[in-house]
Chains A and B, each alone.
Chain A
């Protein structure tokens, strides 16, 4: 069994035009941006904020009671919301910020009634400051990444192609968290930053191979694609394993939020990365190379032969 069919890749590289290559990524990017815009309109932020960025108290515990029963029971505490946390008896209750004395009472009540209680509590002010810090971190991280790309390639079109692809990856990953109801947590922020640095790996591979290697453009693209797809598949394999073990979807495995959040965001990001590297970036870069290097080609050819000998 072959992991990657070289023939299929070869056919794709040979037969697809720039327009055909761009159509899917453009639709995906527009879709992602509209989802983010809609969420901004609905909630005030492009992604829905979780407890870590809003402040409040969350308790996670084992109880055979249904979420509705629990909600009834804890109605006196502010903003109570109860959800199934993972398969089985595990439940999560979330509350808005409250007085320390009321919080102590709540913690005591939960601990005396339920087992295996995990507690998380975030002060309102602190979460608000984390919120602005997270926005700043993501923006600056993206700017740093873009700066590194421009420093490496020093030409506009190839660099902007990489940056646009990375932007589309992040937009898609963020939009998917909205679609699947994953709230912004420390884990998803970590994953988005990781994605900023990581999703450009295959773009760098592609750009370096196409710009700095000699040879036929289609062959170079095909070779880069074989390597790049192997890379992304390996990463996806590891991430899928991490996601399933931490998702809480499998009995006998309890949910681990931070691992689940990081793996799911990276999975979405890498899926988008495959599309954006091998369609958006390949499309733009090939168009650029064909446009700029055609007149030069003839002068370069004998040079190449000379070097090979």
Chain B
């Protein structure tokens, strides 16, 4: 025995010590402005720090959709050209041709935005039109126009029907109903939700909007693809709702024909909003300024749909969360201007008198509302006042302490040897420190659910240490090294099996549940189990052998 390395030189023990020191450093030392600071780096959840949380659902749907391109062109151009006799006479993968009884020009056709066209006259005063376009694009265009919503094409595999992200709350049935006139259908599965890219974009826009108006850091965490959890420390729930939910999706659309409108720009392209002012005559108005992209977009559609020449037939409408908040034609002088150059600043006039002033004030608020790519709907919310959070924090600390003392008593009654009790409790305690260090490094916040997870992990951890101890001491005395090793490997067979059942049992919480509390609980439990099984418990097996060998050696010397 004596020619072997002492147990504290064993690499497992050194690894444990190293990880503990690293965790303590992660928890206590921070670096900013070129200086190290000592402090508490643990991030607490809202239920411990006080504040409000909101879980919002992103409104949208993703579906693979097939439809007949010819039917789409027929339906749409019958409407647009006001000609019930549009006939399709050729469909290929890159073009659709049709014949209309009306005479029309290439400019008009191109303006509808279905793709570049070639127009030739056909017998009996009718016109033959060939559109350079694709099925993917036609379905997207059709959905956009009939839903009055943004629709994104998600590139998929060749030869399969394309997948679309519809940025509006739709049901499978309503979508199928819309597709029916064009021989279209959803190819299951239909999924409510948005793509991760859209989710992340929405998250970023919300952060940009919320952070400047809050005193403390607001964090937004995605939960699955469909939800965002917004944590607003130190903010009341009423305020949280107002800040996060009311500013909606602001959109300007242009009237194409009849009730059909086309997208022009979103609120994020509005970069400046003036205060309500009296304009020419007695009319109230709000001036606003577009960025270059917005100005260009407005000019393009105004020219495309003919709003520059006939403003009265192509009203500009402003929508907030799909509700019409303002509509008016382009002013004649603006229409003229816009034909030659993109115009960045303009005024929306709302009418005269008090009513006009009220309307102008409201419109100003709407114009300022930041734009999100998709609408959000509140799924759940909550508020914990800061003093109560403080009380929770103290109480969990007390609960942890009492639990530790009770566990110590049970272990002491069973083993009665400080050589076992002390390493067992210290190993357990070191697991807590490592889990906390892990939480700091990986940005997990400590809330009541994660703390419950930590306590649960420590519970299983002590159990595993008991398994190691009993296996090592089977028969009462410490066996020679070789036998000890084989016993420890048996103990670890049990521990690995037990740990893997906990791991797989926790997995569904991360995979299926849109609850941040349960996800946090599962994440910390899984992390804790892995830390325990691979770092802390192997080291304990080495330490306990070392200490018991020393004890036996001493006893032997005493007897001598």
Contact = CB atoms under 8 A, between A and B. Distances in A.
Interface string B224-261: 00000000000011100100000000000000000000
Interface string B525-546: 1000000000000000000000
Interface in B429-478: 448-449, 451-453, 455-456, 458-460, 462-463, 466-467, 470, 474
Contacts of A242: 399, 403, 452, 455
A1 B409 CA distance: 11
A136 B514 CA distance: 12
A277 B384 CA distance: 41
A2 B413 contact: yes
B76 to A, nearest CB: 34
Contacts of B395: 245-246, 253-254, 256
B497 A254 contact: no
A152 B497 contact: yes
Interface stretch (A197-205, A287-295, A296-304): A197-205
Residue among B455, B497, B503, B513 having the largest count of chain A Cβ atoms under 10 Å? B497
> Chain B interface mostly helix, strand, loop or mixed?
helix
B494 to A, nearest CB: 5
A3 B517 CA distance: 37
Interface stretch (A28-36, A74-82, A175-183, A222-230): A222-230
A196 B403 contact: no
A148 B512 contact: no
B498 interface: yes
A20 B364 CA distance: 80
Nearest to A239: B459
Give the interface size bracket for B toward A: 35 or more
Nearest to B520: A190
A4 B57 contact: no
A62 to B, nearest CB: 10
Interface in A237-254: 237-242, 245-246, 253-254
Nearest to A254: B391
Interface string A249-275: 000011010110011001000000000
B448 A208 contact: no
A303 B539 CA distance: 34
Contacts of A239: 403, 459
Interface in B473-498: 474, 490, 493-494, 497-498
A209 B495 CA distance: 12
A204 B517 contact: no
B170 interface: no
Contacts of A197: 501-506
B467 A241 contact: no
A44 B497 CA distance: 36
A227 B470 contact: yes
B474 A107 contact: no
A123 interface: yes
Interface string A186-228: 1101100110111011001100110011000000000100110
B360 to A, nearest CB: 25
B448 A189 contact: no
B221 to A, nearest CB: 16
A272 B502 CA distance: 18
Interface in A116-160: 116-123, 125-127, 129-130, 133-134, 136-138, 140-142, 144-145, 147-149, 152
Interface stretch (B30-38, B91-99, B274-282, B373-381): B373-381
A107 B238 contact: yes
Given A126-B55, A223-B474, A231-B463, A266 B456 contact: yes
Given A116-B388, A186-B518, A190-B521, A230 B410 contact: yes
Given A116-B385, A258-B449, A190 B518 contact: yes
A193 B505 contact: yes
Nearest to B448: A258
A131 to B, nearest CB: 11
Contacts of B332: none
B72 to A, nearest CB: 33
B398 interface: yes
Contact of B505 (A129, A145, A258): A145
Given A3-B410, A190-B452, A190-B509, A208 B466 contact: no
A69 interface: no
A262 B448 CA distance: 11
Nearest to B378: A123
Nearest to A144: B504
Nearest to A62: B388
A11 interface: no
Contacts of B493: 208, 212
B508 A141 contact: yes
A104 interface: yes
A227 to B, nearest CB: 4
B413 A1 contact: yes
A231 B466 contact: yes
A233 interface: yes
A234 interface: yes
Contacts of A266: 456
Given A148-B504, A193-B509, A130 B403 contact: no
A15 interface: no
B414 interface: yes
A125 B379 contact: yes
B506 A241 contact: no
A130 B410 contact: no
A23 interface: no
Contact of B506 (A123, A125, A193, A235): A193
B396 interface: yes
Given A235-B463, A262-B456, A137 B509 contact: yes
Contacts of A245: 395-396, 398-399, 402
Interface in B406-423: 406-407, 409-411, 413-414
A157 to B, nearest CB: 17
A201 B460 contact: yes
Given A118-B388, A152-B497, A237-B406, A259 B463 contact: no
A289 to B, nearest CB: 18
A223 B470 contact: yes
A209 B459 CA distance: 21
B232 to A, nearest CB: 13
Contacts of A121: 237, 380-382
Contacts of A231: 462-463, 466-467
Given A148-B504, A201-B463, A205-B467, 9 more contacts: A111-B236, A117-B385, A123-B378, A127-B380, A186-B515, A213-B490, A227-B467, A234-B410, A246-B395
11 contacts: A100-B378, A121-B381, A125-B379, A148-B504, A186-B449, A208-B497, A223-B474, A230-B466, A235-B463, A253-B395, A254-B395
Per CB-CB distance, the 8 closest pairs between chain A and chain B, nearest first, are A197-B505, A197-B502, A126-B379, A144-B504, A245-B399, A237-B406, A137-B508, A238-B403
Interface of A: 1-4, 100, 104, 107-108, 111, 116-123, 125-127, 129-130, 133-134, 136-138, 140-142, 144-145, 147-149, 152, 186-187, 189-190, 193-194, 196-198, 200-201, 204-205, 208-209, 212-213, 223, 226-227, 230-231, 233-235, 237-242, 245-246, 253-254, 256, 258-259, 262-263, 266
